[in-house]
Amino acid sequence: MPSYSAIIAGTGCYLPEKRMTNDDISKLVDTNDEWIVQRTGIRERRVVTPSESTATLASHAATNALKDARIEPKDLDLIIVATCTPEMVTPSTANFVSLSLGLGNTPSFDLNAACSGFIYALETGASFIESGRYKNVMVIGAETMSRVTDWTDRSTCILFGDGAGAVVLQREEVQNGKRDRGLLYSSLHADGGGWEFIFCQPGSRHPVDEKLVAGRNQFIKMRGREVYKFAVSRFQEMLQDALDKTGISVDDVTLVVPHQVNQRIIDAAMDRLKLPPEKAIVNLDRFGNTSAASIPIALDEAIKSGRLKKGDIAVFVAFGAGLTWANAVVRM
């Protein structure tokens, strides 16, 4: 019986055209460009207009990924959307993506692991392919974080942006019993005990009512200091785990594609593992933290700019609300 790898056959991303600079934010809260750049590395971010939504961003990214993979929507066997800012509570955002692609019978669902969501969805999609059940799986990370951001809270409103990134996973038969392309390794983790570090309340426990809205608790809340410590330690841990479990060396890694959370966090983790900073792709200065969309957006940029080519090894690392954290090793 043949065995299969899940290779990345195509990538795509989509960012809203509207830019919000640090100077724009300084008109809303008591802050300035220098303060934001020094603490986060972010200079601007993209935000949706009233006519845009998580599903519209995801659909554009999916269309671009399909073009890159040179397949048609009808060739897809499954669509997974990783998001914590879904189109609606129900139906799923993935259903709306399927509709936009003209599909009427293709299974689709959402997955929420916050900023780690793309890696969670990547492993899920790869599992369907490696089992031999599906040939082509669309995996999307898409967020409209501006819709859950409190623009009166300077500790959080400086961080987030909107966008979507997508990959087409494709089945490839493993030759000689050795998997040398595609997803080589991944690990997923969660600890619900840290849910209060990052959360957004509306739901069955805290339904939207006058009391919730009066306290502005419909927006995302964060304990910045605790999140910073958690992210630095998990970033380093997940990078080291990727090296240890696959047997690859620092020199073997072409590029680290991290969740775009904070420049200081990325720099600290890379330094502790003695990885040169140029081995990490960083675009948070232009896009901010786009949660589950950040890794696939950065991945698409890395490929399109020539920083990742066929045969190269990329390591994905993410961490976010849940608390969740994850990694993945991919040979392009």
In total, how many domains does the chain have?
2
Under the banding of pLDDT at 50, 70 and 90, the label for residue 50 is very high
**Same-domain pairing of 325 and 189:** yes
Q: Assign residue 41 a region: left if phi > 0, alpha if psi is -120 to 50, beta otherwise?
A: left
**Same-domain pairing of 129 and 194:** no
**Same-domain pairing of 146 and 236:** no
**Which residues belong to the active site?**
115, 259, 289
**Same-domain pairing of 110 and 225:** no
Q: What is the CATH number of the domain that holds 86?
A: 3.40.47.10
**Same-domain pairing of 42 and 149:** yes
Among 121, 143, 173, identify where a domain stops.
Answer: 173
What's the rounded Cα separation, in Å, for the pair 277 and 156? 26
**Same-domain pairing of 256 and 135:** no
Question: Which residues 6+ apart lie within 8 Å of 329 measured at CB?
Answer: 183, 184, 185, 186, 242, 245, 246, 248, 313, 314, 315, 316
The DSSP code for 18 is -
Token pair in block for residue 176: 């000689």
Alpha helices per DSSP H over 70-166: 93-100, 117-130, 154-157
**Same-domain pairing of 241 and 140:** no
Q: Provide the residue range defining the domain that includes 224.
A: 182-331
Q: Angle at the Cα of 288 (from 186 to 43), degrees rounded to 5?
A: 145
Q: Please report the pLDDT score of residue 254 as a whole number.
A: 96
Among 125, 146, 173, identify where a domain stops.
Answer: 173
- pLDDT greater than 80 at residue 176: no
Q: Please report the pLDDT score of residue 324 as a whole number.
A: 96
Q: What is the DSSP pairing of strand 313-320 with strand 108-111?
A: unpaired
Among 107, 140, 173, identify where a domain stops.
Answer: 173
Q: For 286, list phi and psi in degrees, rounded to 5.
A: -100, -25
Task: State the average pLDDT for the chain.
Answer: 95
Residue 186 bridge partners (DSSP): 328
**Same-domain pairing of 122 and 265:** no
CA separation, residue 26 to residues 18, 37, 43, 127 (Å): 17, 12, 12, 45
- 331 SS3 class: strand
**Same-domain pairing of 114 and 227:** no
Give me the amino acid identity at 37.
V
- pLDDT greater than 90 at residue 331: yes
- pLDDT greater than 90 at residue 307: yes
Question: Tens of pLDDT along 137-166?
Answer: 999 999 999 999 999 999 999 999 999 999
Question: Tens of pLDDT along 266-297?
Answer: 998 899 888 999 999 999 999 999 999 999 99
**Same-domain pairing of 244 and 157:** no
323: cis peptide before it, omega within 30°?
yes
**Same-domain pairing of 238 and 327:** yes
**Same-domain pairing of 249 and 279:** yes
